[in-house]
A and B are shown apart, each in its own frame.
Chain A
Amino acid sequence: METLEMVERLAERARQERAPVVRVDCRRVLRTCRQERAQSYSLAWPAAGSALAAAMILIFCLWQSGQSARASSSDPVVQLFNPVQVELP
């Protein structure tokens, strides 16, 4: 008999094994679920808060750079290097 054929026969025998009684404490399952959910919420809020803060800082920086660019465009030195706009007739 071939090796893998033997394994098939062994598996057939193994499938007849009686499964032992398993106990599950439903209260413990529910308690674990609630703890995990609470933990994920407690981790989610600081993460969301820091993401929001980072976004606000980024918006502020962009706004600041826009302001400074606008201020510098009225500077005569900056104007010197600005391309000359030629009005076509």
Chain B
Amino acid sequence: MAETTDLSPVMMAAGPDVRLNVPGEDRDWREVQQSLAGDDAACARLFGRYTEDVGRQMRRFSRNAGVCEELVHEVFVEVYLSLRHYRHRGVPFGHWLARIATRVGYRHWKQQSRRRVNVPLDGVEVAAREGDNSEAASAAALLQSLLARLAAADRLVLTLMYFEDCSVLEIAERTGWNRAMVKMRVYRARRRLKEIIEKHKLLEQFQGMIYGNT
């Protein structure tokens, strides 16, 4: 991705995933330092590189485009405010940012659970309302609406496991919980999820989506 020197008012997500790119880490560190010194253009470049990653992650916390953008904004605000605590020799910037994003998303769910927002259990219907009729979108909508029936902590571990393909260790790193706690939560959450699926008789809908008979 080409670097821009000006402070673009709107950063659009683009470019490859640069989380594991080692020279990119040095570039991140340099731009963190420049941002801390008050260089807004460096900050815009840094955030611009990670907008796609954060956007994809926050979509797992809300499928509503407006809410998702607001969450991404919130993540970057939190990142900027904690930038001086970031240490280059610990974790890559992308991982550090992913932890903050997880925290912001989790907080959003907790606020939502206080308001008792109900999500319909029909992935096809939800995806169609969003204007995306692809099978992957329907599957994602259904899975997210199912996970929304769980408690926020259970929902978080399963979201990271199913959508981000995270291992127990990675979930523990992202959430700050210990491994035993994550294992226990995953076990309980999966059992609870199974109960919900069986209660609502959703297996047929699953088969339709998996084998493409929707």
Contacts and interface: CB of A to CB of B under 8 A. Distances in A.
Interface of A: 3-4, 6-11, 13-30, 32-33, 36-37
B150 to A, nearest CB: 12
Interface in B194-211: 194, 197-198, 203, 206-207, 209-210
A11 B69 contact: no
Contacts of B80: 29-30, 33
Interface of B: 7-13, 40, 43-44, 47-48, 51-52, 54-56, 58-59, 65, 68-69, 72-73, 76-77, 80-81, 132, 134-137, 139-140, 142-144, 146, 162-163, 165, 190, 193-194, 197-198, 203, 206-207, 209-210
Contacts of A7: 143, 146, 162, 190, 193, 197, 206
A6 B207 contact: yes
Given A13-B135, A23-B11, A26-B40, A32 B193 contact: no
A36 to B, nearest CB: 7
A19 B52 contact: yes
A10 B143 contact: yes
Determine the main DSSP class of A at the interface with B. Answer: helix
A13 B209 contact: yes
Contacts of A32: 73, 77
B162 A14 contact: yes
Contacts of A22: 12-13, 51-52, 54-55, 58, 68-69, 72
A6 B135 contact: no
Contacts of A33: 77, 80-81
Contact of A4 (B58, B65, B132, B194): B194
